[in-house]
Amino acid sequence: MPDLANSLGTSLHCLDFSFNHIRGVTPVQALQEHRLNQLFTVLTDYPRQGLGRAIRACGLGETPGVKDLFEQEFGIDIPLFLHISRRAADDRLFRLGKRSGVGTPQCVSQSPISPLRGAICSFHV
């Protein structure tokens, strides 16, 4: 965040205060919420990619307690959510007459915060 504050020509304290005043959260909290939402979407759309891979792809690999944060944000623990997402994906494939399988990853977008973190990966079967 110091780099962001510097590029905006303000102090980190001023950035935090302004962000908190307008959005009700700090920039770090907003970024974490955004990444948790990305994780939710990735696990819903591509549940077979593996939990660790999804966590890293959403920029949460270095975040301690990701599973607890996910449960606090969405009210369900990750293993149960992943299980339900996989069953739903299997059901969709069954109804379409296709077999279940792991697809090929392709990055479809990047986080504007950092070009190396927060990539959303899609998987094509």
- Strand partners of residue 107: 121
At 60, list the tokens.
């949460």
- pTM of the predicted structure, to 2 decimals: 0.66
Q: Return the SS3 of 63.
A: coil
For 23-54, the DSSP string reads HSS-HHHHHHHHHHHHHHHHHHH-GGG-HHHH
| pLDDT-flagged residues of the chain (< 50) | 104-125
Q: Based on the structure, what is the number of domains in the chain?
A: 1
Helix (H, G, I), strand (E, B) or coil at 105: strand
Q: How far apart are CA 57 and CA 93, in angstroms?
A: 24
Q: How far apart are CA 104 and CA 50, in angstroms?
A: 13
CATH classification of the domain holding 51: 1.10.10
Structural domain containing residue 30: 2-124
| Residues 44-73 pLDDT 10s | 999 988 889 999 999 998 888 999 999 999
